[in-house]
Every structure is written in structure tokens, then in C-alpha cells.
Structure 1
């Protein structure tokens, strides 16, 4: 709230001031009055106000001694003066009159000609001046003195004749009006200033405003902290910011940015000209921590892409009771604690991405992005721009402003490169450099961007063959496979088939608002006879099909047979219908019968072994005697 203080020059005016003040709405400011005479420095120093209304030498003294206070003078106008002079003429015959005033009025000759009395005028600034002026004018022959209350008291103490120049009602009205107008204007300025200061202090970046002379006129808390300097205002910019040599030309220079080391940090220094009324006034410096900029950009990128950059699965989502799989889970948990690259090997559907997401969520990077890309799903040119990004104008059709690559999006998090074995050789070299140097160069860019990414790769076992034949770089293979996990196919963990199938049936039954059926051992036995070339993914599809189509309370062998699992199998010969398998099992007993059945079936040995429920080794041993004949 803006405070207005009215210094009433003499008590007879108090009522007039109170009457004028009562006419104003005091919303946003307050008006109070006080009374003292002269220029006593102790009294002036104790004044608590934003605006002071005072008369004569008191107004001048407040303005001089308390520059923080805006002073509105109560003007002694000509009418007030001539009213006092008229009273002198009534009281005294022709004599010289001494006028002691603080204001600048018309000259002595004009006043003398108007009142037809000789006049001497003396301007004063404080009460010592008044004392001196009275005796100087007395020495000039003045018999009567005209002026303010200070003059009257001096004359009274020295036995001199005087007449008090009193303040008229119009002067009171005008002074209060001016004070109220100043208060409202000052309130707006203070509001804007407080708002600006609040904005500056709440900014993340350090900021300094410098005038055209190179002197700091404003700075926020962040700047004081960065430069370890308080206060900042009033200091030459070179004394605060050692990295600049100020010159007059800097005050009108265009905007620019440069990276500098300040206080052991990499700081991006931005320089923006300040103009007032279209004229150069100074410069606004902004100091941004380079790492903070990168983190801010990363946060924005993360929020924009959050929907696709979150790992959903955790180790507790891995459903298994197989001893080998449990060992792999424990191994993956240990791998999650370090940042070394991991290679997940296994057939399709064995859970490579499930393991990748679980490793990310168990790692210190769990709150950062998880970015996944299938390297086999994109052509070479598109894959390169997706991985590394591109700058504006890098190629025809490039988005305005360029695009951040997946390495940048995954900064501080995990990048999952699925089917990494399908990356072309040209891109393998670029990928190797990124993994080695931990920095990315966008397509069409002339600068590199540092990245901190944990890479998890996945591939089928044929990546080993590609390395041997030169289709996958050996140095890249060693780089991505520092840690590796070989996931086992479903056919090698048959003890999990029943557990997984029950889990998926329950999950999809609840999803479709169906009751959850009980699955018996005959059904599990039937499921275990299947080769499951699609692994867990194929088993899950079979469970979802059962949950959608079946409405029985108990699921047995017949219900599993009705799923026609083999109809969508990549290896149709791996599935034998139930009735046909019964017939084969009933008629095929001896090795000779089995061999004849094998020849008649047209199946491969592996497929036939699975069909009759024996191991491949056993079947080969039985057939060897017939093949040698």
C-alpha cells in the first residue's frame, strides 16, 4: 500500500486538509497528517512515507534528505503572497518590505509597482537560510518581513514585524490531488516492479539488466548466486561478469548466444538489447546452465512422447516355475543394476521385450524413458533418421525444426533395439560410434549431442551366424553383448505350459467378462504335445481363443483339440489331430511299424518323433537299423 504523508504547515490548516482528504477513495493507498516546522534532519529522517506533501523549505529539505520519498510541494501562489502584502499595507505606512520565500515568483520591481511599497526579495532553501536572509534584509532597511511560519518565529524571537503568508484552499486541493495522482501512478509502477522482480526471482536462469553505461540496474537471486555477488545493482558489469569487456557498442548489439565456463559450469550466455522508446537503453543478459537446458529439453521430449516411452512390465510379470527360467530371471536382476549393454537372444515369442522392460524397471534408470524400436520393421533410411534424428532441411520432406532421434529421447533411460541383427552394415558402423563415443550427430547437423543411454539389444540366435559370415560387425557384436541372456523356447520349459495357459485363460476371461474355466491335466497333457513354434506368444493366442469361444466350466482334452491350434502354426506338420494321433499310437508299436508309419507320413524325423511322443535321439536309434539295410 502506498503511504501519503501530509506535513500540515500550521495547525489552523488541519481542518481544511481533513476536509479535502475525506473526499478521496483510499483504496490502495493511505493518507495521514503530521505537523512540524523547518528542516530538522532528525524529524525528516523519521518520516515513513512513499509520498510527502509539504510547503516551502520543509518540502525542499525532505526532497534533499529523503530521496526515497516523492515530494509534492504545497505551492505558495501569487494570490497568497499579495493577500499577505495587502495586510502589511493596512498595518503600516510606506516602508520597505522584506519577502523571504522558497518559491520563484515575479521580480521585486513588479511587486513594488503593484503594491506601491519598496520591496526586497530573498529566496531560501532551509531554516538557516531564513535566519540569514532576515538579517540581510534588515540591513537593507526592511521594516516588515513576509514569509512562512519559520520566518514568523524568527521575527517574533527578534522583535521584528512580520506577516505570515498563509496557504489558500486552492493550494491545499491541488497539492492533495497531485499527491493522490502520484500515489496511483507509483502504485502501478510498484506493482509492475514487484511483478517483474517476482518473475525474475522465479526464473530458473540467472539474469542481469545493464544500462548503456555498463552498470547493472537489476539482477535476480540466481545471478547473485552464480556470481557470488550481493548486491548487484549499481556495480559495473565487468566487476560482476568477468567474461565480458563492456563497450558502448554492446548496448545496441543484436541478440546473440555463446557458451562460456562460469564458476566451473558450462553456461549459455544470451544477450538481448533493451530499448526504451525505440532507443537503445542497455542489455539483458541471461545465463542458462547447459546441463539444465539439456534436462529441460529432455523432460519436454519425455512428456511429449511419454505414452510410447514407458516400460510396463516388471520381473513379477514373468510367469514361470521352470528352474532354468528362474535362474535367468535372477541373472537379469543382477544385470539391471549396472549400465553395461545387454544382448537378449532367443526365438520369437520367448519374452525378449518382457525381459528388457523388466530390466529397465529394476534399474536406477526406471524413472527415465524406455524407448523401443524394431530394427527389422524400418527401411535403412528411415531407421537412420529414427535412431539419430535429423536437422531442419537435412533432406526433402524433413520436418521444420528437425527431429530428435530415439537416442535423444532415451537420454538417461534405456533404448531397446529389437531385431538388431537386421540393421544394415552401413548403420552398424554409425551405431558402433554412438555406443563408443556416447554422442549422436543428427543427419544434416554439424554438431554432436551428448547422450547417456543404456542399450539393451535383442536378436534371434542366427545373429551368431551373421557375425561368422560378415553380415554383422564383430566389433559391434562384442559391444552390445558384454552381458547376454539366452532365453529358452517354450518346448524346453514344458513345466510352464500349464501355468502360463491357466494364467492367460484367466486374464482373457476376465477381460471379456466370461467366467474363468478350470483346466484339467488332460488339457495340459494335450498342450504339451504341441511343438509351439511361436512360443509363449502362440500359447497366449490359444488361451485367448479359448476364453472367447469356450463357455464350459471345465476345459479338457476335447476343448483343446477344438481350438485348432495347428491351423495357424508355421509348421502344420507339428500338429496331429486327436483321432489321427490315437490311430497312430494304437497301430504303431514296434520299431518296424514306426518306420513304415514314418515313411508313409511324409513328415520330417523331428516332426514324427514329436507326433509319437519319443525323443529325436530315440527315433534315430530305432530307424538306423532299417536305413543301413
Structure 2
């Protein structure tokens, strides 16, 4: 627990102190005993390193002034100790005038002994060791011939020719002094721990902290406050209004009311400030300002969002992951790289399976937002009400089943980064309105809440539908269209990348053969010709699927045309497209091809909200046939 140093004025006292200390039986305490009769002697003999000092009389009084932060406990001289000394004086000397000399603690109550013992006493208080000799000379000149006191007092009296009686400290006083010393040491240790905790909190707080007294004078400035404001420790004691009037602490002192969440400009930067008065018994006796740069708060908010919701918020793909060396794909990548250099919204269009999310991730990872989150959401995968709560979040109690504390929306999670809205064409008119507000105001409001939350998000949208035609048909808001379609990236379909078909197939075939622990297969000339003739309505995604089927189903080391035909069996119109090589264009129409005119196609598209799959189903044809017919009539080009 600690160390106790006891200063004893006479050697016989050591045994009593040691025995009393052992009887108290307090584990963890260390006892150190020093024999000395004065402060000078103590200073010469020992450099103190202790938790508490126990001394008596004038020595204790002097040590209290000299020991600084180390507490000093008086070993009191009890009334019993003085009575014993006076009685010994009566027995040893036939004295008529007796003086009791010592510190205030030693002589307290000594005058009352006159009445008890019917004796005349002179009581003299000695505060300083240097004053003791003159005080005792004065006593001698007044006719006193016996001095009762401590070691120092009796030594001086004997040197001046006076008789002396030494006041010994009884065991009771030693017992209580040791108990008090342990209590004082414990309290001091607790205060030191609290003080160190407080100092550590102040020094390592990321918030600036400045406190003032009732007059507005600064009495504390922590390290963060010095860094933010440019002040130094010399500001302590100066008026806060002269140095930092923006903090408004004098106003808080006058009003007694806290002011929270204010934004001020301090030292050339915006800071969020909280001002709080210190109230005692209804009076403001001081005030505290805590503040932090707004930029730091935003950066910390982004880190917290990422750590809490790290899953799914990372873009893992880059432009290096986009396969292909055809002029069409190289040009598309070059355009996308330029788009990554700015913060404008991007609309990626292209048929299904062309790799819209790969391009979105690549643009994000090549942009200045690469360290921020990447949040992807498929707008067609969720019903309207669920999509709304996912995008914008909700407050606690916003609807039945809402989580306690509410939920952060995807736009909040994407703060400082990018949000990828895939199949944006499927968003309902209601959500289109809310999305437009985000793009215009750069702020969102959670469902069931009235608090506006600013967001810094770049939007990359994607669709395989013609948003312009949807806008003309009234299915997509015109104002939202022009907000989304700032930078347009059109991804080429695989059939327009003839040079990439075979290299891509070889790449994915090797990948899936290795994954399934099968020998790597080659693609024969007839199979290559068939793959080039194929229309690829599913683009690269479909090519990957076919490569995986071939890796599993093709038996020989070389893949031929029959292997290709086998994996395509079951797809409407595809087998005929491969077998009828003489008339590939006609073959692509498939068995369900009918005589369709432009008006019928447009009507079916309109009724299906320009969704190719649903329109094809209405007409009873394949999606490939629909696409071919639309191209023939130059619809959507």
C-alpha cells in the first residue's frame, strides 16, 4: 500500500513504534524509522522518498512547510503524556515555577493542568526551531527554573542551565498516529490516481477543452485546445474574451445556460463548440468550452461508419480486372478512367451481363474517394417500402417492427464515398422524388424523423433500359434523369467485341477447370467459330456460365462444336442459331419468330415499362428475337 517514515526524537521510542506497527498487522505497508532531533539533522541524513511522514512537535510543524506534496502527520502529545511529565517534575524537583515549551499540538490544554494539580505553569508555544532558544531565555529571565518539553526544547534549556523533564510519547499516541498516517496516505494515493486520470483525459482528448473562472479568466487549456487555437500554457490567467471571444464563455457565465452544437471559426477553421456553465448553489462559478474541428468530426464519422458496417462497403475491383483487348472495351475503359478524375454523377448503360458493377467499382477505386466506402444496392431486388428504408434509414418507432434506436441508411453509410444504384430504372416515382432531393440538397431525412442529415456521396447509377425513352413516356422523372445522366458510360455488348470472345472463354475455362481439379481443356477451331457466331444475349456473364458448364461437362481434352451445342441446349432459339450456320441472322430469330411490326413492338415495350424480358414474354418470343427486331426497326438506337 505504501511507505511510512517515522521521525523519532529519542532512541527508546523506536521499539514502541515497531511493536505498535506490527500489532496493527496491515500487509503492504513499509515502515522506515529515522532518529533525529531537528529538521536540519533530518535534511542532512536522509533524502525522503516516502508516502507519508510521522513526526511530533516543532519537528512536525517544520516538516509540513518543507516537505512539499508529501503529507506530514503529527504524533500528538496527549494530556496523559503531559500529566506524566508534570508529575515526574514534582517528584524529582521541588520547583515553584515550571514552563511547558513546545508546538501548539504539544501544549494544547496544558493550562488546565494548573487547576487539576494545583500548580503554577507557564505555557510557551514555539513555532520555529530558530525561535526556541530566545523563547527559553525569556522564560529563564522570568524566574522559571524547570522546563518541560520535547527533545529540542529540553536540550536548549539544559544548555542555558535549567532543569528539564522530557515529554515522552505514549503508546496510545503512536498507535493513533500510525493509523492516521495510513489513512492520509490512502487518500493521497486516491487523489493522485484521480488527478492522473483527469490529466490523461485532458492530454489525450481529441477535443479542445478550455475552462474559465467566474471572472472569465482561463484556468485550464489542454493540449488539443492549444493545437486548435494556437494558444500556449501562458494563456492561463488571461481573459478568455480577449483571446477567444468566439467561444462565448462570458455569455454562458452571464446566462447560466448551456449552448451546445454551435459552429464557430477559430484560428481560421470551423469548429463545433459546446459551452457549459459550472453551477454551484445556483451560481455560475466558471464555464467549460469543448470544441473540435468540423473536418475532424467528419473524418471520424466516416471511419466509424466503415468500421461498424465494413461488410459490403469495399470496392475490390479495379480497371485491371476488366478483361479484353478489343478496341471497343479499350475505348470504354479510357472514358471510364477520365470519369474517375471528377466527382460528377455517372450513368452506366448496357445490356445485362456487360459488367456494369465492375466498371462502377473501378471508377470508385481510381477516384479521390477510393478511401471512402462503396455501397452497392440493386434497386430492382427490393419492394418500394423496403428499398426506401434501406436507402434513407429510419428513426426508432417509424413503423411496426422498426429496430430500437433506428437504422442508418445506405446513403449515410456511403458518406465520403460512392453509392452504386444498379437498375435505377426500377425505382418507383415516389422514390425518384426522394432521390432527386438527395442529388439537389446533398442531405437526407430518415423515415419517421425530422432531422436533416448532410451527406457527401457520389452516385453511379446503372441500367439496361433506355432511360431517355422512359422519361419521354413519363415513366422516369425528367429532372432526375438530367441529374443522373451527367456522365454517360455505354458498355459494349460482347457481340461487338469479337476479338475478346475466344480469349475470355479461354481465361474462364482455365479458371473453372483448375477450380474443379480437372485438366485444362483447349477450344477447337469449329468450337471457336461457333462461339464467334453466337449472339451472346447474356454477354460476359453468360460466357462465364458456359465456360463453367464446359469445364464440368466436356469430356475430351479439346472442346468441339458438339460440346458447345450441348451446353447451349434448352435456351430458346440458341440451338437453332448454332446449327443453322448458313443463315445465322435468320436463325437468331428462333422457332418462335413472328411477323412483328414497329407499332406492335413499341406497344409491348410500353406495356412492359420498357423491360425487354417482360415485353418479349408478352409477345411470345425470345428476348434475343425482340432485340433483333428492335435493331431492325432502329428502336432504342
Give the TM-score category using the shorter length: 0.7 to 0.9
Judge conservation of contact 1:573–1:603 (CA < 8 Å) in 2. no
- The equivalent residue for 2:364 is 360
Q: Are 2:70 and 1:69 aligned? A: yes
Q: Are 2:542 and 1:542 aligned? A: no
Q: Closer, same or farther in 2 for the Cα pair 1:313/1:147, shift >3 Å? A: same
- The equivalent residue for 1:99 is 100
In the TM superposition, 1:91-490 aligns within 5 A as 91-102=92-103, 103=105, 107=109, 110-127=112-129, 130-131=132-133, 133-138=135-140, 140-207=142-209, 220-226=222-228, 228-230=231-233, 242-245=247-250, 247=253, 250=256, 257-261=260-264, 263=266, 264-269=269-274, 271=276, 286-460=290-464, 462-490=466-494
- The equivalent residue for 2:55 is 54
Judge conservation of contact 2:384–2:427 (CA < 8 Å) in 1. yes
Corresponding residue SS for 2:311 = helix
Q: Closer, same or farther in 2 for the Cα pair 1:138/1:32, shift >3 Å? A: closer
Q: Closer, same or farther in 2 for the Cα pair 1:106/1:318, shift >3 Å? A: closer
Judge conservation of contact 2:249–2:289 (CA < 8 Å) in 1. no
Judge conservation of contact 1:274–1:281 (CA < 8 Å) in 2. yes
Corresponding residue SS for 1:62 = helix
1:563 and 1:54 map into 2 onto residues whose CA distance is 100
Judge conservation of contact 1:60–1:125 (CA < 8 Å) in 2. yes
Shift of 1:411: 1.0
Judge conservation of contact 1:39–1:57 (CA < 8 Å) in 2. no
- The equivalent residue for 1:35 is 36
Normalized against structure 1, the TM-score is what?
A: 0.80
1:108 and 1:461 map into 2 onto residues whose CA distance is 107
Corresponding residue SS for 2:421 = strand
Judge conservation of contact 1:212–1:248 (CA < 8 Å) in 2. no
Judge conservation of contact 2:95–2:146 (CA < 8 Å) in 1. no
Q: Closer, same or farther in 2 for the Cα pair 1:235/1:31, shift >3 Å? A: farther
Q: Closer, same or farther in 2 for the Cα pair 1:225/1:8, shift >3 Å? A: farther
2:438 and 2:102 map into 1 onto residues whose CA distance is 84
Corresponding residue SS for 1:576 = helix
Structure 1 stretch displaced more, 113-122 or 72-81: 113-122
Judge conservation of contact 1:39–1:61 (CA < 8 Å) in 2. no
- The equivalent residue for 1:491 is 495
1:393 and 1:238 map into 2 onto residues whose CA distance is 45
- The equivalent residue for 1:573 is 573
Q: Closer, same or farther in 2 for the Cα pair 1:428/1:409, shift >3 Å? A: same
Shift of 1:544: 1.8
Q: Closer, same or farther in 2 for the Cα pair 1:93/1:240, shift >3 Å? A: farther
- The equivalent residue for 1:625 is none
1:234 and 1:68 map into 2 onto residues whose CA distance is 23
Q: Closer, same or farther in 2 for the Cα pair 1:411/1:600, shift >3 Å? A: closer
Structure 1 stretch displaced more, 348-357 or 212-221: 212-221
Q: Closer, same or farther in 2 for the Cα pair 1:137/1:43, shift >3 Å? A: same
Shift of 1:86: 3.1
Corresponding residue SS for 1:163 = strand
Judge conservation of contact 1:258–1:269 (CA < 8 Å) in 2. yes
Q: Closer, same or farther in 2 for the Cα pair 1:448/1:85, shift >3 Å? A: same
Shift of 1:444: 3.9
In the TM superposition, 1:530-609 aligns within 5 A as 530-565=534-569, 567-568=570-571, 572-576=572-576, 581=580, 585=582
Judge conservation of contact 1:269–1:288 (CA < 8 Å) in 2. no
1:114-133 deviation per Cα after TM superposition (whole angstroms, max 9, x unaligned): 54432222333323554454
Q: Closer, same or farther in 2 for the Cα pair 1:204/1:458, shift >3 Å? A: same
Judge conservation of contact 2:508–2:547 (CA < 8 Å) in 1. yes
- The equivalent residue for 2:508 is 504
**Unpaired segments of 5 or more residues in structure 1?**
621-629
Judge conservation of contact 2:56–2:74 (CA < 8 Å) in 1. yes
Q: Are 2:79 and 1:78 aligned? A: yes
1:422-458 deviation per Cα after TM superposition (whole angstroms, max 9, x unaligned): 3344433433332233222333433422222222121
Judge conservation of contact 2:97–2:146 (CA < 8 Å) in 1. yes
- The equivalent residue for 1:5 is 5
Structure 1 stretch displaced more, 82-91 or 140-149: 82-91
Shift of 1:371: 0.7
Shift of 1:563: 1.0
**Unpaired segments of 5 or more residues in structure 2?**
598-623
Structure 1 stretch displaced more, 72-81 or 463-472: 463-472
Q: Closer, same or farther in 2 for the Cα pair 1:322/1:248, shift >3 Å? A: closer
Shift of 1:508: 2.4
1:271 and 1:441 map into 2 onto residues whose CA distance is 29
1:505-530 deviation per Cα after TM superposition (whole angstroms, max 9, x unaligned): 22223333333222222212112222
